[in-house]
Structure formats: C-alpha cells, structure tokens
C-alpha cells in the first residue's frame, strides 16, 4: 500500500525546485527566505518518515501474506501426525490379511479383515493421504527408498520391481517413502 504523495512535493525532475523563483514571480523577502530555510530540515524529516511509513506498510503486507499462507498450510497438513501414526496400523492389518489363510483362519474372518483394510484406506484418502505408486515405475529417490537391487535385461533405466513397504504422501508432502527393490539395466559388454 503506497502512501499518497504530499501535494507540495514535485511530481517529477522537470518540476521547478523549491525556493526557485518562477518567471514573473516577486523575489521573497528576507523573512520569507528565512522561514523557507527553517522549513527545509522539517521537510527532509517528513520525507524520511514518509519513506519509513511506506516501507513499514510493505513489510506489514508481506507479513499478512505469509501468515495467510501459514494458516492455509496448517489447515491443509493438520492431519499429518495422525496419518503418520496410523500407517503402521494399516501395514499390520495388511499383514494379517496376507497371513490369515496360512494360519487356518475362517474365510469370513479374512473377508472381514479385508473390509477393515479397505475402510481404513478410504478414511486415509478422505484425509488427503495418497499411496505412492511404485512397482513398474522409474526409481525416484525422492519417494522411493531402495534396499536392494539386481541387474536385468528387461529395463532401460532403474525401475522398481518390488514394493516391500508402501509409501504415502499427504497432498504434496511425503509422509513415508516406499521401501522397494530396484532392477538396474545390465551394463553393455566391453568390446
């Protein structure tokens, strides 16, 4: 927000200077000249204060903009800690579904666990949590954590071949990287 210009300030460099005698103007009396000389430091101080005011107003506008952004971010990411705490629970539910048939669990029990896992995933999606795609994707160290790899003729660049632990993000913020195994292209034989 810019401060309004004072009416006595010249609009541009071509405007006449203060104290300059215009053509057809009567020269100032010594008392008027003395008053003008006394007013010069006051006008300089006024210009300095006006400049400070303009800078302060700009700083305040920047502060308001930063605060608004912080509030928007805090609202958008307010579920981050809860989501991080719930991801291991979801992992354990998936493991239970995976190993329940091996333990001889009844079909209705396994089906019930699968429904709970789907409901859990849906609840996380409503909070803005998204699973990171991994298998078959190019390896991205920003969202994948490689714990092993092997050479392969089937890939041209590092590609995720197995996901051991799924990764998640909350909107655009990484909650947990996907733990993966990576297939590397086999080096060309030396000639």
Return the pLDDT at 54: 95
Q: Is 57 left (phi over 0), alpha (psi -120 to 50) or beta?
A: alpha
pLDDT higher than threshold 60 for residue 1: no
CA 100 to chain centre: 42
Please compute the mean of the pLDDT values over residues 79-103 and round it to a whole number.
Answer: 88
Please compute the mean of the pLDDT values over residues 58-74 and round it to a whole number.
Answer: 91
Question: Which stretch of 40-49, 101-110, 161-170 has the lowest confidence by average pLDDT?
Answer: 101-110
First to last CA, the chain: 70
Predicted confidence (pLDDT) per residue in 118-152, tens digit:
999 999 999 889 999 889 898 988 999 899 888 88
């Amino acid at each position: 927000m810019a401060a309004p210009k004072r009416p006595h300030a010249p609009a541009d460099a071509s405007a006449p200077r203060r104290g300059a005698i215009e053509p057809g103007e009567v020269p100032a009396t010594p008392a008027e000249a003395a008053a003008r000389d006394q007013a010069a430091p006051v006008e300089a101080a006024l210009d300095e204060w006006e400049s400070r005011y303009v800078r302060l107003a700009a700083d305040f506008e920047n502060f308001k903009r930063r605060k608004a952004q912080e509030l928007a971010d805090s609202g958008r990411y307010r579920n981050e800690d809860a989501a991080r705490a719930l991801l291991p629970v979801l992992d354990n539910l998936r493991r239970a579904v995976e190993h329940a048939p091996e333990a001889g669990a009844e079909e209705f029990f396994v089906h019930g666990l699968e429904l709970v896992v789907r409901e859990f995933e849906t609840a996380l999606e409503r909070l803005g949590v998204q699973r990171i795609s991994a298998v078959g994707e190019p390896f991205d160290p920003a969202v994948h954590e490689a714990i092993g790899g092997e050479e392969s003729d089937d890939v041209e660049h590092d590609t995720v071949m197995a996901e051991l632990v799924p990764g998640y993000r909350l909107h655009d913020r990484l909650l947990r990287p996907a733990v993966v195994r990576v297939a590397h292209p086999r080096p060309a034989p030396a000639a």
